[in-house]
Structure 1
Amino acid sequence: MDGPVERARAAVLGRLWSALRREPLDFVVGVRVAGGTAELTLRDGRVLRGPAPAPFGPHPPGLAVTLTGPATTDRAIAADHAAGADRTGAPDRTTGPNRLDGPNRSDRTDASGGGAVLDDPAALVRELPVAGRERFAEELGDSVANLALAYAEAPPPPTLGALAAMPAADAAVLGEQLVVAGHPLHPGCRTRLGMSAAEVRAYAPEHRPVVPVRWWAVPAGRWWSPAGLPPLLPVHPWQEAHVLGRYGGLLSPTDRVTAARPLMSLRTVAADGRTHLKLAVDVQMTSAVRRVSAAAVHNGPLLSGLVAGLAPAGFGVLAEDAGGAVCVGGEPVPALAVLRRAAPVGPAGSVVLPLAALSADGAPGRPPLAVQAARAAYGGDPVAFLRALLRVLLPPLAALLRAGVALEAHGQNTLVVLAAGRPVGLRYRDFGGVRVSAARLAAAGVAAPPLRGAVPCDDPAVLRTTVAAAAGVVVGELVAVLGRAGAEPGRCWAAVGGELAAAFAGADRAALLAAPVPVKATTAMRLAGDPLAERWAAMPYGWEGP
């Protein structure tokens, strides 16, 4: 059966299975791939077997892995399982009306009697000999539930031609909402711990709702805004219902309510055709609870000006011109904060899309937008489209890296401007993952602004990793999607290598071409004692399979 539940389980399980093969996990002590089958030996002696995992799918319904061998005797793991350690306290999403897929399960046996057949990612995680498994299993159960809901109810995507014919503001929002399945490698691609199914329907972009955002008056002595926003805080309705009451009537409601539409991140909303609002929502989405830090409020306007001043023609910055936060005890509260950002605008007749939207699933019989663009502008040659996109994407990243700014250009925060299917420009937003080298800026004759947090960084390896990791995922997913549409992967990767060599120079070029692509090891991170500490996996360019 290929229903929404089966599709969601397979999509999340495929991401998890690929990560178990690829990422640095100390409980996986052996990996063997032969004849299209992967075999992973766990540290307790048991063995997982399944199809050799490709990093970007496809993961068809019916995907399962087989677990053989004796049950673990690790007392620490058994104690963790019994105590339910690391649970987040989120609503139960395993049964009842909040779910489509019923309880997590591990209830099939291989017909040959050779072990348990696991088709549910949460069930697989609960078998892993690692202490963080209960927390991660809960996250993946939630991811499956929300993705199944999206597959069951999300409206079909428009064509590229239909987007181009819409009013620009509507097309820009709808383009954000096409990415139904979320992050292409993270098994928690649709984790939203703390939201009920009704709240997901009401606020998640794939359901295309209108979200009423009320503005709250803040006492002047309680408001902090380095760029001078007036003391009015727009509050997401989920935050209003679940968090605002903790602050004891500190804020006063106004009659101002903005009919906003959620963008890819859910918590950033389009207030109108000119303004986006990045709101705090105390919900774990993928890996992190989504608040707005004081560093982000401080850095946003400074980084907007810095990047805009260094960027080449055709590269537009969606400026964060101001932000603000409520203060308690003299300190800004990340749960009561906002950033104001410019909405993307392209030339007349163009479409502005997040890079991730190019690879998003199409409707039955309707290919992804990248394939549609190749047909519209390049005679159906997907490699020509890929090369054109890389020529728009890579030179600005290289120029900014040379000058001292390493952009985290991933599929959500980097947008491409398409004119009749042709990439003609980029737009960049959200500076949380940016790294800035004062030394490189000084060499370029630019003074580094007074940035806070992890943004300042002079380590060239970190700067290069920031650029390569995000762009590598975007390019890898796009190559996989174009390959399923008939493109020869070898031609695609040859184009990638050629454009990398042309865009970057000197030590940056040598390092990027010599090293494997760094990819954030999201599964290893979620299973670690500190699930937010960065860990990395590596994939060589051209990596198409196990």
Structure 2
Amino acid sequence: MHRPPTAEAQVAAELADVRPGLVPRYAAELPAARAAVLTRLWRALAHEPLPWITRRAGGADGLELRLADGRVLRGPLADPYATDAYVSAVRLDGVPYDDPARLMTDLAMPHAAGFAAELAHSAASLALSRAGQQAHSKEWPARDWEWEQRVVDGHPFHPNCRSRPGFSVVEQFAYGPEHRPVVHLGTVPADASECLLTGDWPDELRDGARLLIPVHPWQATHVLKVPCENGPAAHPLMSLRTLALPGGPHVKTALSTRLTSSVRDISTYSIGVSATLSAFAEDLAARTDGLLHVTRTLGAVTANSPDLAAVLRESPQMYAGPGEHLLPVAALATTDLPDSPAWLAAFTRLALTVGLRLLELGVALEAHGQNLLVVLSESGAPLRLVYRDLADIRVSPVRLTHHGITPPALTGRLITDDETTLRRKLFGSLVAGALAGTAGSAASLRSALDTAVRDVPTTPDLTALRESPLPAKALTLMRLSPETPGDQWAALPNPLN
């Protein structure tokens, strides 16, 4: 029986057509890419509340997982905060597996086949991303989008860290920020009377009574399937669908494919609340004594479709002064700064001070390494933070009112007074995400937190952070239970205990 080529073979075949000189390097990168994805998968198997794992037991020989059907899975002890690829193989009933896709296929749990395909694509695409890299210059980048291009491996903890389904090799080279392309956006005209527009829309993206909506070329080809007028050239950022216009704002485009966990369209709801949310966040950031800036949303538009929408945001670069460096927290791993315990503690103190202050007031940021940026002094000291993309924060009217702040005129999924939801949002993204990804291990994270919390004002939220398991999104569980909407959560060992 004929079998379709594996994801690795398919990428190799396409690469041989377009960049044959990279084929040997791609092949050489595959084992490490599999290990990187397998490490992330093993973390999930060890710590997420997967219903078909009935028992976990750790000892000197490693970790043993007993499955509901009686099989046993064995591997190394799983550090939930490690970012190095330290899992090269695990054993299922004594049979070694070094390929995460093959392991998931043979586990044969509900929805395993689809997830296995994503894992295979993640490993192959990660190897491709690594194969195309050049050595970093010793000089730090001068522009924010150049920092974003340094982040090659994607999400530090998601097994689908580099999964880009629907993207050919040519398209990955053309649109993936780690490949350093210039992307020529298209524009689709739409009658202003038929669009939802909030904020301002620039003259250069207007044509009389029509609004010119920026469109990612992948979206134009594969989803909209309409011809696009020539739009501006731009540099893709880490999220791939958000791009920096040279000397201008950032533009967030709809990209209706599943990257890591989510389909990246832009909802009508997020367009409708964008101006109100931006003004509110700007006012709230002013209460942090200059430690936080929030990039303003300049304008947002949708032609009554999540597949045809765009958001213009000011560039975070404007919040960096002369001699200062601005970079996403995810890019810190590309510098030597996280190797310093004192530096990591200082950065952790800054991030916790800001995050907990806003949470106390009534706003939980989705402060993962992509949304959160840090301004560094010329010598590399962390000075202040910049936050972008307000689409998934949570706002508590009760907490705001308690502090004499008028809640914004918002409804819908952004609004909640549930303390568990608010704390999960911040702690899961900031502590289990941005800080853990920067620290790179449980030991480093523990040291940084232990030092930082001594100087952070005590609040009920800080007490909860100290005393409770650390929430983190159960990313693999979410991919294996598509029938369950919304976020699902794992409780990780608290590094402060």
TM-score by length of 1: 0.80
Q: Does 1:192 align with 2:164?
A: yes
Partner of 2:5: none
Amino acid at match of 1:430: D
Provide structure 2 residue ranges, at least 5 long, that are not aligned to the other structure.
1-24
Partner of 2:11: none
Contact kept in structure 2, 1:212 and 1:237, CA below 8 Å: yes
Structure 1 residue aligned with 2:100, among 121, 133, 143?
Answer: 121
Q: Does 1:49 align with 2:74?
A: yes
Structure 2 residue aligned with 1:449, among 401, 408, 432?
Answer: 408
Counterparts of 2:496 and 2:177, CA distance in 1: 31
Q: CA deviation at 1:157?
A: 2.8
Partner of 1:233: 213
Counterparts of 2:449 and 2:326, CA distance in 1: 23
Structure 1 residue aligned with 2:461, among 485, 508, 514?
Answer: 508
* Residues 258-278 of structure 1, C-alpha deviations (whole Å, 9 max, x = no match): 111100100000012330000
Partner of 2:57: 32
Counterparts of 1:50 and 1:495, CA distance in 2: 28
Q: CA deviation at 1:334?
A: 0.5
Partner of 1:80: none
Contact kept in structure 2, 1:354 and 1:413, CA below 8 Å: yes
Q: CA deviation at 1:135?
A: 1.1
Counterparts of 1:525 and 1:515, CA distance in 2: 22
Contact kept in structure 2, 1:276 and 1:342, CA below 8 Å: yes
Q: CA deviation at 1:301?
A: 2.2
Q: CA deviation at 1:404?
A: 0.9
Q: Does 1:293 align with 2:251?
A: no
The 1:504–1:410 alpha-carbon spacing in structure 2 relative to 1, beyond 3 Å, is farther
Q: Does 1:135 align with 2:88?
A: no
Partner of 1:3: 28
Counterparts of 1:298 and 1:429, CA distance in 2: 17
Q: CA deviation at 1:47?
A: 1.0
* Residues 262-311 of structure 1, C-alpha deviations (whole Å, 9 max, x = no match): 00100000012330000001111001110011122122222222122122
Q: CA deviation at 1:320?
A: 1.2
Contact kept in structure 1, 2:198 and 2:274, CA below 8 Å: no
Counterparts of 2:357 and 2:248, CA distance in 1: 28
2:316 is paired with a residue whose SS is coil
Counterparts of 2:249 and 2:346, CA distance in 1: 29
RMSD: 2.1
Partner of 1:387: 345
Contact kept in structure 1, 2:199 and 2:297, CA below 8 Å: no
Counterparts of 2:294 and 2:486, CA distance in 1: 28
Q: CA deviation at 1:253?
A: 4.2
Amino acid at match of 1:243: V
Contact kept in structure 2, 1:357 and 1:369, CA below 8 Å: no
Q: How does 1:482-497 map to 2 (within 5 A)?
A: 489=443, 493-497=446-450
Q: How does 1:237-316 map to 2 (within 5 A)?
A: 237-245=217-225, 253-254=228-229, 256-311=230-285, 312=288, 313-316=290-293
Counterparts of 1:235 and 1:155, CA distance in 2: 29
Partner of 2:387: 428
Contact kept in structure 1, 2:360 and 2:459, CA below 8 Å: no
Partner of 2:4: none
Counterparts of 1:418 and 1:509, CA distance in 2: 26
Counterparts of 2:302 and 2:470, CA distance in 1: 37
Counterparts of 1:54 and 1:344, CA distance in 2: 33
Q: Does 1:542 align with 2:495?
A: yes
1:533 is paired with a residue whose SS is coil
Counterparts of 2:484 and 2:299, CA distance in 1: 31
* Residues 91-146 of structure 1, C-alpha deviations (whole Å, 9 max, x = no match): xxxxxxxxxxxxxxxxxxxxxxxx32211111111122421101101111111111
Counterparts of 2:481 and 2:292, CA distance in 1: 38
Partner of 1:181: 153
Counterparts of 1:500 and 1:266, CA distance in 2: 35
Q: CA deviation at 1:530?
A: 2.4
Counterparts of 2:454 and 2:426, CA distance in 1: 15
Contact kept in structure 2, 1:287 and 1:532, CA below 8 Å: no
Provide structure 1 residue ranges, at least 5 long, that are not aligned to the other structure.
69-114, 327-331, 361-367, 375-381, 484-488
Q: CA deviation at 1:427?
A: 0.5
Partner of 1:104: none
Structure 2 residue aligned with 1:405, among 363, 376, 379?
Answer: 363
The 1:274–1:228 alpha-carbon spacing in structure 2 relative to 1, beyond 3 Å, is closer
Structure 2 residue aligned with 1:210, among 182, 185, 198?
Answer: 182
Structure 1 residue aligned with 2:84, among 54, 58, 76?
Answer: 58
Amino acid at match of 1:143: S
Q: CA deviation at 1:234?
A: 0.5
The 1:495–1:284 alpha-carbon spacing in structure 2 relative to 1, beyond 3 Å, is closer
Counterparts of 1:29 and 1:275, CA distance in 2: 50
Sequence identity of aligned pairs in percent?
38
Q: CA deviation at 1:531?
A: 5.9
Contact kept in structure 1, 2:183 and 2:234, CA below 8 Å: yes
Partner of 2:45: 20
1:440 is paired with a residue whose SS is helix
* Residues 212-255 of structure 1, C-alpha deviations (whole Å, 9 max, x = no match): 0022221233222022435110010001111222xxx6xx744x
Counterparts of 1:275 and 1:221, CA distance in 2: 25
* Residues 31-68 of structure 1, C-alpha deviations (whole Å, 9 max, x = no match): 121214211111111111122222324215x8111111
Counterparts of 1:50 and 1:283, CA distance in 2: 33
1:333 is paired with a residue whose SS is coil
Q: CA deviation at 1:501?
A: 5.0
Contact kept in structure 2, 1:410 and 1:470, CA below 8 Å: yes
Counterparts of 1:257 and 1:464, CA distance in 2: 41
Q: How does 1:293-372 map to 2 (within 5 A)?
A: 293-311=267-285, 312=288, 313-326=290-303, 332-345=304-317, 346-360=320-334, 368-371=335-338
2:306 is paired with a residue whose SS is strand
The 1:304–1:504 alpha-carbon spacing in structure 2 relative to 1, beyond 3 Å, is farther
TM-score by length of 2: 0.87
**More off after superposition, 444-453 vs 126-135:** 444-453
Counterparts of 2:214 and 2:256, CA distance in 1: 15
Counterparts of 1:425 and 1:14, CA distance in 2: 33
Counterparts of 2:68 and 2:39, CA distance in 1: 22
